[in-house]
A and B are shown apart, each in its own frame.
Chain A
Amino acid sequence: MSTLQIVFVLLRRELMLAMRRRGDVLTVLFFFVIVTSLFPLGVGPDPKLLRLMGGGVVWVAALLAAMLSLGRMFASDYADGTLEQLVLTPTPPVVWITGKILAHWLVSGVPLILVAPVLGVQFGLSNEALGVLVLSLLLGTPVLSLIGAIGAALTLGLRGGGVLVSLLVLPLYIPVLIFGAGAVDGAMSGLGSEAHLSLLGSVLILAFMLTPWAVSAALRISIE
């Protein structure tokens, strides 16, 4: 099988598994929605304030939601031995790891992007800012899955893995948050969002090139 075929087969498997357990996907999505609706309740309904905060709040919630779903990435495959079999296959780990990360993004990142405009409207974002919000999430959420995969791989099978993964991964998410929320901010204030989006894109490229190798090293450490 060619490399692409392997990625495709793995992707189909992961998506099928996700579709059989739709609850997991929906839980993360609703978590995202609930967290964003907590902010207006916390800081008050002033439309001006909410419009200022909107982009940042949606982005913080996206970070938390992405982190929440990281446990799923390798845990069940680790528990039933699939992961060991994958490691033993002649396919380079980087290939199937990229497939798994891609699947994780499709299952947990894409739904967030689809819902985000609705949440943005609730915060009174302008139409242009809504577009930028979607675009920034489109560039940023794959980075969350990529970096998160390192944390998920390192904490495989550890007690308190969920909390630990947040401690490891959230500081590394900060640049994505800054560029993502900054892009929305730039669109709202009329400063323009191109710079932030370009930076986000470069972070994505960098993460895409480097993290699969780190994840492969992390999995080897955790499985041996």
Chain B
Amino acid sequence: MMSGINWYKYSSPATFYGLAGKMIPWFYGAAALLCVAGLYIGLVLAPTDFQQSDAYRIIFIHVPAAWMSMFIYVVMAFWAALGLAFNTRLSFMMASALAPTGAMLTFVSLWTGALWGKPTWGAWWVWDARLTSELILFFLYLGFMALQAAIDDPRRADRAGALIALVGVVNVPIIYFSVRWWNTLHQGASVSMTKAPSMAAIMLVGMLVMALAAWMYAIAAALSRARSIILEREKNSQWVTQMVEDEV
């Protein structure tokens, strides 16, 4: 190993459970600090936009949520591929632990996008390429979670979910470009986000800090969900029994 740490040790659910438990408070703490800092920059330090007035400030939630929603899908597919390749149970658990957070952030980005669109574009929803592909991403998350929920056997649920995540990630670029071309041909929306004036540096900083906060939150949430999944799956194993006894 490059760093001398035995990474394989932590691919066992039992050791990972303990490690995740130690890491979660740190990630939640970092998320909270970054969120406070980001909101301070976004709501107090950043100046009011002369075109969109204060309505633009929702981007400090919206853009990080949209970034993370896409990123998490890729990470999910990465864990799925790792699980299928190396047959590690923990990888599948990470994939299913990430899905609800990704779906939630996708929903947040759609919702805040609507809140921003109403004062700026005058419409809650336009069939813009980005909005549409974000909506489709939401559907992909839902499909993944629905498939896993429908299968009772955890081994089959893991693998089936992993496969559909991989199929999805191959399709995401195709879907994105098809939606973009569809949109430019139809000329439906007369507004474009790319025409907006370039952003002031302080706004960009605020957005980046908020993105980091969302990132930390996503890690913490996924880890704690993974811990619950581990407990659920391993409830009959010896180390869980031992741990429960120790706590009692």
Chain A contacts for B163, CB-based, 8 A:
150, 154, 214, 217-218, 221
Chain B 126-184 interface residues, beta-carbon cutoff 8 Å to A: 136, 139-140, 142-143, 146-147, 150-151, 156, 159-160, 163-164, 166-168, 170-171, 174-175, 178-179, 181-182
- Against B, the Cβ 8 Å flags (1 = close, 0 = not) of A182-194 are 1001100001000
Sample 29 A-B pairs with CB under 8 A, ordered by A number: A154-B164, A161-B150, A164-B150, A167-B139, A167-B143, A167-B147, A168-B143, A168-B146, A170-B139, A171-B139, A171-B140, A171-B143, A171-B171, A172-B168, A172-B171, A172-B175, A174-B136, A174-B178, A175-B171, A175-B178, A178-B178, A178-B179, A178-B181, A179-B178, A182-B182, A191-B185, A199-B178, A210-B170, A222-B156
How many A-B contacts are there with CB distance less than 8 Å? 74
Are A221 and B160 in touch, CB under 8 angstroms? yes
Contact indicator B164/A174 (Cβ below 8 Å): no
A167 to B140, CA, bound (A): 8
Measured CA separation A158–B200 after assembly (Å): 53
Contact with B along A24-49 (1 / 0, CB 8 A): 00000000000000000000000000
Apart from the given pairs A159-B150, A172-B168, A210-B170, 15 other A-B contacts in the complex at a CB distance below 8 Å: A150-B164, A154-B147, A154-B160, A160-B150, A164-B146, A167-B139, A171-B139, A171-B168, A175-B178, A178-B178, A178-B182, A185-B185, A186-B185, A214-B167, A221-B163
Question: Measuring CB to CB, which residues of chain B are less than 8 angstroms from any residue of chain A?
Answer: 84, 136, 139-140, 142-143, 146-147, 150-151, 156, 159-160, 163-164, 166-168, 170-171, 174-175, 178-179, 181-182, 185
Secondary structure of the A side of the interface? helix
Residue of A at shortest CB range from B132?
A174
A155 at the A/B interface (Cβ < 8 Å)? yes
Q: Residue of A at shortest CB range from B141? A: A171
Residues of A within 8 A of B (CB): 150, 154-155, 158-161, 164, 167-168, 170-172, 174-175, 178-179, 182, 185-186, 191, 199, 203, 210, 214, 217-218, 221-222, 224
B-side contacts of A210, CB under 8 Å: 170
Smallest CB gap from B178: residue in A: A175
Chain A CB within 10 Å, residue with most, of B140, B164, B166, B170: B164
Q: Which residues of chain B come closer than 8 Å to A172, judged between CB atoms?
A: 167-168, 171, 175
- Whether B147 pairs with A155 at a CB distance below 8 angstroms is yes
Smallest CB separation, B42 vs chain A (Å): 33
A109 to chain B, nearest CB (A): 20
Quick check: A168 and B147 within 8 Å, CB to CB? Answer: yes
**Cβ–Cβ contact A175 & B175, under 8 A:** yes
* A-chain residues with CB within 8 Å of residue B159 when the two chains form the complex: 221
- Tell whether A174 pairs with B179 under 8 Å between CB atoms, given A154-B160, A182-B185, A214-B167: yes
With A171-B140, A171-B175, A178-B182 as known contacts, state yes or no: A164 contacts B147, CB within 8 Å.
yes
Whose C-beta in chain B lies nearest to the C-beta of A218?
B163
In the complex, A154→B147 CA distance in Å? 8
Note all chain B residues with C-beta closer than 8 A to A199. Answer: 178
Closest A-chain residue to B182, C-beta based?
A178
B136 contacts across to A, CB distance below 8 A: 171, 174
Q: Is the CB of B160 within 8 A of A218?
A: yes
Question: What chain A residues lie within 8 Å of B84 (beta carbons)?
Answer: 217
CA distance A218 to B166 in the complex (A): 12
Cβ-closest chain A residue relative to B138:
A171
| Given A167-B142, A214-B163, A218-B160, A158-B150 contact (CB < 8 Å) | yes
Closest Cβ of chain B to A212, distance in Å, is 13
Distance, CA A199 to CA B139, complexed state (A): 23
Residues of chain B within 8 A (CB-CB) of A203 are: 174
| Distance between Cα atoms of A137 and B142 in the complex (Å) | 28
